[in-house]
């Protein structure tokens, strides 16, 4: 179904020489990506499902009146970036002065240099078919430059709006300077309730001693979404990723972190509460390349009627990465017999002086705990909600910023209300 | 050279103890894999037509298959045409008792420390020894037959109990199951057959010792164990192969049927030649082992200690079909030098209230790679099922690797599954604690490793446990982390 000539045309039609070079390289990655597909998408029949909906992988670039999109942004937002069908709408965005946001193609040669170390480094290491297609089909790569020693309070929201029957490609590249501290919150908004597809690839380069908080939330009804975040950390940097997923025909999240230097710290937290034929697939990988780094990963999920939760966590510890500390856990609660969980926590270790552990559980709510609450006059439904929200606090507690945490806690409570309590 | 390096070097230079080869008169088929060879094997063994047809059908399918690539192993290309698929010590006359067994053969067993006579007299273990494809000398047969237990070579079973064999052969592992099982189905040479009748508790441990003796002969064993309602059997399998430079292929199949209330305990100690310290030679061990708990309350337990083979590809599995059935898997896998192991288990929960437990302990040293690969699958109708898995890895030295690939698929809300894994080295503090108490470093490590593997070793029957502990401490002598 992936039409090679269509992809070749996309490469041929590229005017920007550097981008064309990247795309040509990606074209060669199609074959190895396909080889990986069978194992990497074992539980997520993504291509087969997409195939039924779309005849072509060509992107769309039509954009309606900007005002319509502005209405989608809540008034409470201070800083926000609006991207519609892959194109950055500067006119309706509100940007802090400390951050330079531009399309890669609009950058001067010197400014491009900064991003060349990361832009399109993704496919080389991962060979994911959707990332590869994104590399070939995306039209604009949006670059974010945070200068060194920039500390921003509050978060910057990124609104990715999908308003097209054709596949939509988002591409972003971040360069976070030395000693900077920033928070981003990314949302995906679909203007239809079903059958739209967006493919987002983000590359983040973190310089020495930088600090990043990155939130992603996905509640996209019956739409399709592929999201790949690729992080390259330099020494003493700290990254915190928080991923919340609530609905989607298929959502696939790839979070790949490379700890390339010493003393890096990576935290990955995820929570999913899904129902009504949703399918959430979280694939993470942490690659410890140099020594004395710490990675910590915790994903929790509640899976209800006809839904499927997939988790695959990979930890690689290279030979040089002595004194690594890596922790990984995945806990799931199944609420229905038609729900399904596939989990695969994976460790690959080549160094001996390390502490690595992983654990995963699949189970249900403790009947004794439910009984305890019910014996105190709490209805079964409320008791279940209470226990489920307690289950989620392990993840929400990890959010430092109080406002953001409260926001997510409320969001989770609302979602839990809608779950089926048998 | 630091002390660690010195000790590691000492240990890597240790030669394989069981490396010798006895020259029997060997009746060997020409190299190559084709229909004629299969017909030859079948006719040599005087097999009935249905079995030949079954073999040929498997071979037809085998031709269409390709080698699996998913494992975390680096398998050099195997030339299946360059292997002789049948070799048997030449039959001189029918043997009636142990006294008539070739003395050279008995000596072979004695070198292995498993003298048939000794075992017969002292340990009460019935040994069905298999050397290069043909069973010779089965002990304790009379005693077992009193109870109605059938324990004989596979070819004998085909002749004498064709109905039983036909009913169970290929039912747990179909001929087309996977590449290596399919190859085995086409060319299997011999193996063991065991049937425990209703309500019988087998009074002794049944044991088979496999050895690959002639050079360049792949050994294609096939074991079939049938435990009828309410019966119990403990089965031991031990393997050693002499030192050879060329790699030898071993693709065995073990099938177990456990009916209602039956229990089967299957223990393996495998110490085939792992290749020399540069990774030259060694056995390729591609084994398919699977048991089915057919009836309710049945139990299958696999215990393995894997210290040998250049490449190990082995996943003893349980299909828990009967309600309340139990599957267990205990494994210690040790790899050194350039050994590679990709081993683990599959637990397929089909019946209600089924339970499974997986304990896997991997130890890697030298340049070796040790992977655990497991699959726990709880199907929708397997209500209230329970699984607990633990897979720990111990790394000795910084050139080896430990990998874990657990697949966990759960499809109902009343089941509970837990998985945990850790990777570590022997802690300085643990060694320090022992040193403080006057235990020297060597013994401290032996103590710690033995403690690490204890959970699995204690599952082994006594005789095996001693052998396994000896193997472990020998292999890991002086590997300071």
pLDDT for B150: 87
| Closest by CA position to B185, among listed B88, B61, B86 | B61
Per-residue confidence at B475, pLDDT binned at 50, 70, 90? low
CA separation for the pair B201, B203 (Å, rounded): 6
DSSP-derived secondary structure letter, A23:
H
* C-alpha gyration radius of chain A: 21
In a domain, A246, yes or no: yes
* C-alpha gyration radius of chain B: 22
* Per-residue pLDDT tens digits for B196-214: 999 999 887 787 655 454 4
SS3 B462: helix
The count of C-alpha atoms lying within 13 angstroms of the C-alpha of A102, restricted to the half-sphere facing its C-beta, is: 14
Residue A235 C-alpha, separation from nearest chain B C-alpha, in angstroms: 23
Would you call B415 an interface residue with chain A, using a CB distance cutoff of 8 Å? yes
Is the pLDDT at B137 greater than 70? The verdict is: no
Q: What is the ipTM of this complex?
A: 0.85
The count of C-alpha atoms lying within 13 angstroms of the C-alpha of B225, restricted to the half-sphere facing its C-beta, is: 30
Looking at beta carbons, which residues of chain A come within 8 Å of B425?
A: 352-354
CA–chain centroid gap for B394, Å, is 22
In a domain, A245, yes or no: yes
Residue with the bigger pLDDT between B4 and B271: it is B271
| Nearest CB neighbour to A359, from listed B397, B403, B419 | B419
A315 and A326 Cβ atoms separated by less than 8 Å: yes
| Helices within B370-461 (DSSP H only) | 428-436, 441-457
B343 and B315 Cβ atoms separated by less than 8 Å: yes
Q: Which mean pLDDT values do the consecutive 10-residue runs of chain A (422 residues) have?
A: 76 83 85 84 86 78 77 87 90 88 85 78 73 87 91 90 89 93 93 88 93 93 93 94 93 94 94 91 94 94 92 92 92 91 91 88 91 93 90 92 90 83 52
Would you call B425 an interface residue with chain A, using a CB distance cutoff of 8 Å? yes
Q: Can you spell out the DSSP letters for A217-271? A: EEE-TEEEEEEEEEEEE-TT-EEEEEEEEEE-SEEEEEEEEEE-STT-EEEEEEE
Inter-chain residue contact A359 with B418, CB threshold 8 Å: yes
**Which domain, by its residues, includes A204?**
4-261
pLDDT for B349: 95
pLDDT for B478: 46
Would you call A307 an interface residue with chain B, using a CB distance cutoff of 8 Å? no
* Per-residue pLDDT tens digits for B388-416: 999 889 888 788 889 999 999 999 999 99
pLDDT, averaged across chain B: 79
Inter-chain residue contact B420 with A351, CB threshold 8 Å: no
CA separation for the pair A341, A333 (Å, rounded): 9
**Taking each helix axis from N to C terminus, what angle separates A380-396 and A367-374, rounded to the nearest 10 degrees?**
120
CA separation for the pair B30, B176 (Å, rounded): 25
In a domain, A227, yes or no: yes
Per-residue confidence at B463, pLDDT binned at 50, 70, 90? low
DSSP-derived secondary structure letter, B123:
I
In a domain, A370, yes or no: no
Other C-beta atoms within 10 Å of B440: how many?
A: 10
Interface of B with A in 45-74 (CB under 8 A): 70
DSSP-derived secondary structure letter, B367:
T
| Closest by CA position to A173, among listed A146, A141, A151 | A141
Work out the average pLDDT over B127-142.
Answer: 53
Looking at beta carbons, which residues of chain B come within 8 Å of A361?
A: 416-419
pLDDT for B476: 60
Distance (Å) of CA B141 to CA A108, A313, B210 = 88, 52, 19
pLDDT for A308: 94
Number of domains in chain A: 1
Distance (Å) of CA B442 to CA B437, B477, B478 = 14, 7, 5
First-to-final CA distance of chain B: 15
In a domain, A393, yes or no: no
pLDDT for B481: 40
Residue A376 C-alpha, separation from nearest chain B C-alpha, in angstroms: 25
pLDDT for A73: 87
In a domain, A160, yes or no: yes
Say what percent of chain B tops pLDDT 90.
Answer: 26
Inter-chain residue contact A352 with B481, CB threshold 8 Å: yes
* Per-residue pLDDT tens digits for B82-128: 777 776 655 444 444 555 555 655 555 555 555 454 444 334 445 55
Residue A253 C-alpha, separation from nearest chain B C-alpha, in angstroms: 19
Is the pLDDT at B431 greater than 50? The verdict is: yes
- Which secondary-structure segment (H or E) carries B165? helix B162-168
DSSP-derived secondary structure letter, B457:
H
| Chain B residue whose CA is closest to A329 | B420
User: What does DSSP say about strands B401-410 and A340-349: parallel, antiparallel, or unpaired?
Assistant: antiparallel
CA separation for the pair B128, A393 (Å, rounded): 60
| Nearest CB neighbour to A349, from listed B399, B402, B481 | B402
pLDDT for A55: 77
In a domain, A399, yes or no: no
In a domain, A361, yes or no: no
SS3 B182: helix
| Helices within A364-422 (DSSP H only) | 367-374, 380-396, 402-418
């Amino acid at each position: 179904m992936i039409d090679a000539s269509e992809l070749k045309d996309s490469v041929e039609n590229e005017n920007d020489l550097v981008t064309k070079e990247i795309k040509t390289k990606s074209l060669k990655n199609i074959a190895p990506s396909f080889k990986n597909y069978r194992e990497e998408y074992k539980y997520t029949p993504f291509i087969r499902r997409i195939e039924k909906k779309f005849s072509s992988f060509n992107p769309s670039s039509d954009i309606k009146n900007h005002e319509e999109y502005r209405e989608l942004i809540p008034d409470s937002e201070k800083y926000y970036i609006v991207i519609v069908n892959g194109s950055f709408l500067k006119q309706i965005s509100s940007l802090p002065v400390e951050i330079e946001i531009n399309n890669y193609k609009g950058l001067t040669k010197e400014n491009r240099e900064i991003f060349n170390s990361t832009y399109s480094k993704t496919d080389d290491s991962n060979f994911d078919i959707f990332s590869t297609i994104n590399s070939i089909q995306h039209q604009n790569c949006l670059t974010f430059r945070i200068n060194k020693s920039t500390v921003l309070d509050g978060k910057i929201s990124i609104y990715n709006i999908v308003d097209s029957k054709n596949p939509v490609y988002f591409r972003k590249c971040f360069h976070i300077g030395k000693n900077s501290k920033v928070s981003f919150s990314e949302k995906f908004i679909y203007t239809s309730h079903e059958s739209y597809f967006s493919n987002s690839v983000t590359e983040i380069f973190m310089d020495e001693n930088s600090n990043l908080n990155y939130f992603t939330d996905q509640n996209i009804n019956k739409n399709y979404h592929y999201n790949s975040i690729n992080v390259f950390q330099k020494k003493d940097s700290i990254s915190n990723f928080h991923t919340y997923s609530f609905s989607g025909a298929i959502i696939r999240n790839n979070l790949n972190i490379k700890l390339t230097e010493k003393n890096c710290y990576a935290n990955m937290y995820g929570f999913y509460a899904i129902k009504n034929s949703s399918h959430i697939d979280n694939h993470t990988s942490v690659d410890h390349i140099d020594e004395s780094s710490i990675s910590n990963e915790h994903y929790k999920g509640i899976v209800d009627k006809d839904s499927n939760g997939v988790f695959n966590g990979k930890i690689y510890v290279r030979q040089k990465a002595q004194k690594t500390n890596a922790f990984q856990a995945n806990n799931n609660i199944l609420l229905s017999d038609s729900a399904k969980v596939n989990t695969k926590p994976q460790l690959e270790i080549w160094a001996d002086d390390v502490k690595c552990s992983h654990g995963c559980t699949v189970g249900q709510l403790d009947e004794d705990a439910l009984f305890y609450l019910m014996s105190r006059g709490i209805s079964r439904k409320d008791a279940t909600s209470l226990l489920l929200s307690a289950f989620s606090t392990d993840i929400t507690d990890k959010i430092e910023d109080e406002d953001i945490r409260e926001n997510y806690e409320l969001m989770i409570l609302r979602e839990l209300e809608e779950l089926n309590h048998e | 050279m630091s002390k660690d390096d010195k000790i590691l070097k000492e240990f890597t230079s240790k030669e394989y103890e069981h490396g010798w080869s006895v020259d029997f008169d060997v009746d060997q088929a020409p190299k190559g894999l084709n229909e004629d060879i299969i017909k030859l094997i079948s006719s040599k063994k005087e097999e009935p037509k249905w079995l030949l047809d079954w073999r040929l059908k498997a071979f037809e399918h085998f031709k269409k298959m390709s080698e699996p690539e998913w494992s975390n192993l680096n398998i050099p290309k195997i030339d299946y045409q360059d292997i002789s698929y049948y070799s048997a010590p030449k039959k001189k006359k029918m043997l009636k008792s142990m006294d008539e067994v070739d003395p050279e053969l008995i000596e072979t067993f004695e070198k292995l420390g498993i003298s048939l006579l000794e075992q017969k007299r002292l340990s009460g273990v019935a040994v069905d020894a298999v050397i290069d494809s043909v069973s010779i000398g089965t002990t304790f047969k009379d005693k077992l037959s009193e109870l109605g237990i059938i324990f004989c070579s596979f070819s004998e079973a085909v002749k004498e109990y064709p109905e039983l064999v036909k009913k169970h052969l290929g039912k747990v592992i179909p001929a087309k199951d996977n590449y290596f099982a399919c190859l085995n189905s086409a060319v299997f040479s011999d193996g063991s057959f065991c049937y425990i009748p209703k309500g019988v508790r087998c009074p002794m441990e049944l044991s088979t010792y496999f050895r690959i003796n002639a050079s360049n002969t792949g050994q294609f064993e096939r074991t079939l164990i049938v435990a009828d309602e309410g019966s119990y059997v403990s089965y031991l399998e031990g393997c050693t192969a002499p030192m050879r430079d060329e790699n030898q292929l071993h693709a065995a199949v073990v099938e177990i049927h456990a009916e209602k209330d039956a229990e089967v305990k299957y223990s393996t100690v495998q110490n085939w030649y792992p290749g020399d310290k540069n990774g030259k030679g060694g056995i390729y061990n591609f084994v398919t082992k699977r048991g089915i708990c057919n009836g309710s309350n049945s139990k299958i337990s696999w215990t393995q200690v894997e210290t040998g083979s250049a490449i190990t590809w082995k996943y003893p599995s349980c299909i828990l079909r009967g309600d309340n059935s139990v599957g267990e898997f205990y494994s210690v896998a040790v790899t050194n030098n350039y050994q590679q192991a990709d081993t683990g288990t599959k637990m397929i929960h089909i019946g209600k209230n089924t339970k499974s437990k997986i304990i896997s302990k991997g130890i890697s040293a030298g340049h070796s790679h040790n992977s655990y690969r497991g699959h726990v699958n709880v199907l929708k109708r397997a209500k209230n099922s329970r699984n607990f898995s633990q897979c720990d890895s111990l790394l000795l030295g910084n050139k080896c690797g430990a990998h874990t690939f657990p697949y966990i698929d759960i499809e109902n809300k009343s089941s509970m599954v837990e998985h945990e894994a850790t990777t570590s080295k022997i802690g300085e503090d643990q060694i320090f604690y022992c040193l403080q108490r006057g235990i020297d470093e060597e013994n401290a490590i032996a103590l710690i490793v033995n403690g690490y593997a204890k959970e699995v070793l204690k599952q082994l029957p006594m005789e095996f446990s001693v052998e396994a502990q000896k193997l472990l401490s020998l292999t890991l002598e002086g590997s300071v982390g």
